[in-house]
Structure 1
């Protein structure tokens, strides 16, 4: 090997042995030795980066490889794979088309990856064509399974079964494909065939959880919830997944063990919060136990995840009706009927309208129920005996409600007339009473005016009498004052006379005293 050429053989051997560090070190050494990048070194470096999850970096190196050798179909294929992993599907499809043009022979991997991009873009017909072309180039299990899944999604179960039969020929002991094939037969109501295939899968792996789950589903649908639970317990001992707990919950639901069913379905929803089937089943269970708000929330969550399943809207109508929101319940029922003209939906719609007193609309829905029911086969009608009995009960209840309503209207009308007469009599009495009160008020006012005039006259006479009395009193007071003055003068004169008399008596007393004193003195001298 020339010293100017890189050691691609040793690089390849290290890459195959997954000695990635040594491989990258060798690539760096070779780049340094030859003085720059080389195609295979960049190619292997990009592969290692993608395996390590560094997809964006790998894309950059693959694009450099394409620049070095734009005619290589494999280089373009690797760019397309990185774009697919990055979710850049439209760009990837263009690159895969380039790879197809560059490849001398059809490359099943390029066509398969192109088909996967088309599936992601919901271009189903184009995806089927790409998968069929890939299968013609080289039948491979991944392509056959992808094609079978597309047919099953479209409801083409016969085509899906044929594709999975072909896939099983490539891998006869693949229990996962056997389980899918068994489930497809269940979709076609071919229960015995499905159980046979699932039994063969369990022979290969008696503890395959998904196979046990599928077999248990058949048993559960047949009405034997206890045996189904036994199968599910075996699967749960191996591995836990949301679908398993959903089925266990529905088994408890069938056994009327509602609390256990709710617990299982809640666990399933925690494990797979974006599975609309689980949210829907939980909503049905909440409706069963009359937890209407919880039912509304679960069913609404299911609709937000998947809006193309008519029964979810019908169940939403039931929940809204029970919550008193009949207008939005009507919209939900109409949405369900627009998607699927189901007789049970019409019956539930009629019951909701009946419960809210909308009898005419309820009659219309009962007629729609009868029309949809009559389109069923005789065998289906016999199987739906409970539904037919319920509809008859609804019709009977509706008639009773209408009679009660008419009687109520009649009673209300009679009471209305009586109340109207009472109002008229009351109005007449009020008017008479008002007139009497007005007359009494007028009489009172006249009497008050008369009393006021008399009072004014009396007050005038009284004022005159008071003036006379006041005048007389003044004269009397004057006379009394004069008499008092005269009496006072008399008294004063009397007092003066008395005073003078007293003075005279005092003088006499003084004289006598002096005489006595003189007598006393004489007596003393005599002594």
Structure 2
């Protein structure tokens, strides 16, 4: 007796039409093939009558990368309507509002996201940032963020809040805690490289720390090893470029930075560095081009507007240079060099009263920084410049600057050992200490720019 078995093969389940192309959208997005990604998104939204949450979400991310913040906000709001229980959707709405300068509205959305996820470092940190920008110096959210993740950005922001609240001792304690974490991080990186000497992430991080202390040759040796593993890494080429910049090899620096820019065209820190190097080489039109692009991507950083003002000054566009300086001093809350450069600019153009106002604001920031650190020290060249400015304004008797000793010499403008303070550079904080200077056309007082270049030590988060 023959027994026949009938084999039933169950067909593979089809993905719902709403999610059918999500994997393909994701693949093109992470490859940064945004044009193809947008075409697929359009097809997906047509098929789903605009109801595909993921397609809308990625389209909003791309619009934000293109600088279309308002349009990206509207799409993220659509995502939040489609899926109101998603923390990511609420965070992205809040982030877009923050970028548009609508900090109070951003706070509401971050609080709503926090109710859905209380253990999210990003939410707590950004809440602290939003309150900072509306001059409400709350510390609770930053302290919660540090309990979740000991991130250097949060330490820096909390220290700044304590300083502005007049709590100098607490600010010092915060900075000491941050320094301890930095040293431990370097030790852990050393241990990691002992077990896996070819781990490019650890190599890149260690190299950036060495670069911080001006050990450019040692850092370059590390980067050579990393280049074998990740030859197309934008952070790697950015850091190599800034090593060359620290060594005053400016043509090589521009070559490496342009490669980083080619690999990551929407990274404002690379554009910032390109503008900085071109300013150093007195190529002001090129500097203006790169700095304008950086401002389009990061419109809330005062130092960018200051550099743009320097380029415009040297291009003899006084009106726009004035506007750029006004924006710089409005945005920057801590760097006295912004006010010093503006004071020199105003003095050079006959506005002594405006120059005096900026000089006094610079002194206020200097005193605040000195109160916050016993090791606070300015570059001797900058002290000399401030003294000349004070003498020109006839306020030398009230100078807050310590006059250099007889043996003190003006440091070269790219010296890595300068200790001029600098604000954090966005998501990946600036680690470098190499400086640059650019001079105005006025022969009486020269305009000096000393700022931190941006050294990237982790890849950017596409969100």
Normalised-by-shorter TM-score class: 0.5 to 0.7
Residue of 80, 90, 93 corresponding to 1:93: 80
Q: Which structure is higher in helix share?
A: 1
1:393-430 alpha-carbon deviations (Å, 9 max, x no partner): 3344677xxxxxxxxxxxxxxxxxxxxxxxxxxxxxxx
Structure 2 unmatched runs, 5+: 1-6, 26-39, 61-74, 98-104, 130-140, 158-177, 395-463
Report the Cα distance in structure 2 between the residues aligned to 1:81 and 1:249, rounded to whole angstroms.
Answer: 37
1:283-337 alpha-carbon deviations (Å, 9 max, x no partner): 1222222222222222122112211000111112222222222332222212111
Q: Is 1:214 matched up with 2:216?
A: no
Q: Is 1:329 matched up with 2:314?
A: no
Report the Cα distance in structure 1 between the residues aligned to 2:91 and 2:279, rounded to whole angstroms.
Answer: 40
Contact 2:257 2:274 in 1 (8 A): yes
Residue of 139, 143, 148 corresponding to 2:121: 148
**Secondary structure, counterpart of 1:384 in structure 2:** coil
Q: TM-score, normalised by structure 1?
A: 0.50
Q: Is 1:384 matched up with 2:371?
A: no
Residue of 284, 309, 318 corresponding to 2:276: 284
**Secondary structure, counterpart of 2:316 in structure 1:** coil
Report the Cα distance in structure 1 between the residues aligned to 2:320 and 2:42, rounded to whole angstroms.
Answer: 48
Q: Is 1:373 matched up with 2:358?
A: no
Residue of 259, 262, 281 corresponding to 1:267: 259
In structure 1, the residue matched to 2:217 is 226
Query: How far is 1:125 from its partner?
Result: 4.8
Q: Is 1:306 matched up with 2:306?
A: no
Query: How far is 1:391 from its partner?
Result: 0.8
Structure 1 unmatched runs, 5+: 1-6, 16-23, 25-42, 64-77, 98-109, 137-143, 166-180, 400-527
| Aligned alpha-carbon RMSD (Å) | 3.9
Higher CA-based Rg? 1
Change (3 A) 1:329 1:93: closer
Report the Cα distance in structure 1 between the residues aligned to 2:17 and 2:332, rounded to whole angstroms.
Answer: 55
Query: How far is 1:373 from its partner?
Result: 2.4
Report the Cα distance in structure 2 between the residues aligned to 1:158 and 1:335, rounded to whole angstroms.
Answer: 30
In structure 1, the residue matched to 2:241 is 249
Contact 2:260 2:270 in 1 (8 A): yes
Residue of 214, 228, 241 corresponding to 1:237: 228
**Secondary structure, counterpart of 2:369 in structure 1:** coil
Contact 2:77 2:89 in 1 (8 A): no
Contact 1:114 1:127 in 2 (8 A): no
Q: TM-score, normalised by structure 2?
A: 0.56
Aligned length: 315
In structure 2, the residue matched to 1:351 is 344
- Aligned positions of 1:113-262 closer than 5 A: 114-115=89-90, 118=93, 122=97, 125=107, 128=110, 147-153=120-126, 155=129, 159-164=144-149, 188-189=178-179, 190-203=181-194, 205-239=196-230, 240-262=232-254
Contact 1:118 1:126 in 2 (8 A): no
1:423-452 alpha-carbon deviations (Å, 9 max, x no partner): xxxxxxxxxxxxxxxxxxxxxxxxxxxxxx
Question: Bigger CA drift: 80-89 or 261-270?
Answer: 80-89
Change (3 A) 1:61 1:201: farther
Contact 2:41 2:59 in 1 (8 A): yes
Query: How far is 1:207 from its partner?
Result: 3.0
In structure 1, the residue matched to 2:444 is none
Query: How far is 1:59 from its partner?
Result: 7.2
Change (3 A) 1:95 1:217: same
